[in-house]
Copies of this chain bind each other. A is one copy, B any other.
C-alpha cells in the first residue's frame, strides 16, 4: 500500500497492445518499465527532472528491482502508476511503486527499485545537492 506520510506521485496511462503477451495480459517485464516511468514522473513533478540530472553528469543506476504481481492488466486498460521514496541516502535511494487499475483502484502490481548515484566515469558519488533537496522534501523528517 502506498504510504500516507510522504509524497506519492501518480501518472495514468493505457496499456499498449505491444505490451500484452500470448496469455492475453500485460507481460510482466513491462511493469519494470512502468516503475521507471513512475519515478521519472515523480522527479518531474518535484521539479527535479531526471533529464537534467543526467545532463549534470550523473546517473541514478539501478542496483535492484523487485515486483510482486497480484492481478493482471489488459490491453487498453487505464492504470495509475504511484511512486514514492522508501529510503533516501546521500549516495542512493529506494523508490516504492504501486500499479493500480485507474477506475477501481485495485492494486495490480507492487514493487521497489534501489538506485546508486554514479558519475559518467562510473564512480559512486553523492547525489547532487539540489536534486537531493527536492527528493528530501517528499519524505518525512
- Chain A residues proximal to chain B, CB less than 8 Å: 13-14, 16-18, 20-25, 27-30, 32-33, 36-37, 40, 44, 49-51, 54, 59, 61-69, 74-76
Question: Does A62 contact B18, Cβ atoms closer than 8 Å?
Answer: no
Which residue of B has the minimal Cβ distance to A67?
B65
- Given the interface contacts A59-B23, A66-B65, does A18 sit within 8 Å of B40 by beta carbon? no
Cβ of A44: which chain B residues have Cβ within 8 Å of it? 76
- Given the interface contacts A64-B69, A69-B63, A69-B64, does A29 sit within 8 Å of B36 by beta carbon? yes
The 8 Å CB contact of A21, one of B17, B37, B51, B68, is B17
The prevalent SS among residues of A at the interface is mixed
State A37–B76 Cα separation when bound (angstroms). Answer: 9
Question: Does B65 contact A28, Cβ atoms closer than 8 Å?
Answer: yes
Query: Which of A25, A32, A40 has the largest count of B CB atoms less than 10 A from its CB?
Result: A32
List 17 A–B pairs whose Cβ atoms lie within 8 Å, in order of A's numbering.
Answer: A14-B37, A14-B40, A16-B33, A16-B36, A17-B22, A18-B33, A21-B22, A22-B74, A28-B32, A28-B65, A49-B76, A50-B76, A51-B75, A61-B69, A62-B69, A64-B69, A66-B66
Question: Does B76 contact A68, Cβ atoms closer than 8 Å?
Answer: no
